[in-house]
Structure 1
Amino acid sequence: MWKKFKRNFAPYFLYFVVKFIYMTNKKVYHHPRNNDKEPFIVCMWHGDLLSQIFNYHTFRDRGIVKAMVSENRDGETITKLASMFKIGAIRGSSSKGATKVLINALKELKTGNDIAITPDGPRGPRHSIADGIVVIAQKSGKNIRCFNSVPTKYWQFKSWDKFILPKPFGKIDFYISEPFSVQDIDLEEAKTLIKDKMLVHTIK
């Protein structure tokens, strides 16, 4: 009974909570001027993913983004919540349906849609970079942009990703990096480059 309730009603509850939190916070956007409309790969930490809904839509007011979401039950909740914010989903992970996810991600980028990836999800370790984002970037030839947010007041949960939920009536600084490429560099070098850029504006 509880599982059914959680699956059906949790996304709606979270939607209103998130809307209230971001409505009551002062928002400061540190966005690059370069918004060339080329499809790109959104890179965001798993523990910071809720904030990136607002970060993305402010930067891409008419863009289409598909987020890579795991196949587990939490993934169902995230998928429903994302759809309320007009964000699509590509279901799967590195441990389940990896080939399908890769093919679908490449198709979305080729179509002209952005895709969003949490390189340390769905199980961590926190702030790690999995191979998937590098493979997709190199096979598609598309650039990566790092998305981060830093609230002045927040709750930090005791989950593996130390999930961040901003408190109401504070200020949130939103960051998006300039686009960068990982073409023509080896896997480990590419992962180090992405992690270094992501950690510039990250709550420890």
Structure 2
Amino acid sequence: MKLFLVTKVVPFIMQLIVRIIYLTSKKVYHHPNIDKNEAFIVAFWHGELLMQPFNYQKLKPSGKVSAMISEHKDGEAITKTVEYLGIDSIRGSSSKGGAKALIAAIKEIKGGDDIAITPDGPRGPRHSVADGIVAIHKKTNAKILIFNCKCTKYWQFNSWDKFVVPKPFGTLEFFISEPLDVSDLENEEAKEVIKNKMLINAIN
């Protein structure tokens, strides 16, 4: 019964709530001009992930993206929710199933599809950048697109990621950066550049 709730009932309700919030909000998009046939690595903070499927679909209406989601049990509800919202999943993270997820992500990009990563997931620290995004970037030469979503009205959980849930009837401001290439930088420097770019339009 609990498994059914986690994998079916809760995700269905969650995606309905997310869609209602989106539909009742004013939307503003700040998007770059990109080659929509190019495969990218999409990066956003774990606490801002809720509305990002809509950000992606506005940028690439016919695109395919797979999100790297933790193999921990707490990743199940998120996985099923984003699937309802049109986002595939690659299970694994820096702390569990990492090698398998890395190989799968590289395969997706080389096949012409995008992947999405929360560099500070699945357990933080908040607004940190793990090694995975740089490793995939350097192995595939896929550029990085940084996604942010600011909202005028929101609830913010007291969780490690300060998870944000926008309130209905506010304004959602979607940001996507120009494609970022840090392949010529050392890993730590690359991670610092990515972090700083991701913080520009982040919610505090």
TM-score by length of 1: 0.97
Deviation at 1:94, TM superposition (A): 1.2
Once the two structures are superposed, the pairs formed by residues 83-162 of structure 1 within 5 Å of their partners are: 83-162=83-162
* Distance in 2 separating the partners of 1:24 and 1:130: 35
1:78 counterpart residue number: 78
* Distance in 1 separating the partners of 2:96 and 2:73: 13
* Distance in 1 separating the partners of 2:7 and 2:80: 9
Q: Percent identity?
A: 55
**8 Å CA contact 2:53, 2:86 repeated in 1:** no
Gaps of 5+ in 1: none
Aligned residues: 204
Secondary structure of the equivalent of 2:200? Answer: helix
Read off the aligned partner of 2:183 and give its amino acid letter.
Q
1:28 counterpart residue number: 28
Deviation at 1:115, TM superposition (A): 0.1
1:64 counterpart residue number: 64
Distance 1:34 1:6, change over 3 A: closer
- Could you give the per-residue CA deviations for residues 69-116 of structure 1, whole angstroms, max 9, x where no partner exists? 101122111111111122111001112211111111000000000000
Deviation at 1:191, TM superposition (A): 0.4
- Could you give the per-residue CA deviations for residues 21-76 of structure 1, whole angstroms, max 9, x where no partner exists? 01000000000123442100000000000111110000000000000010112211
TM-score by length of 2: 0.97
1:174 counterpart residue number: 174
Deviation at 1:120, TM superposition (A): 0.1
* Distance in 1 separating the partners of 2:184 and 2:78: 34
Gaps of 5+ in 2: none
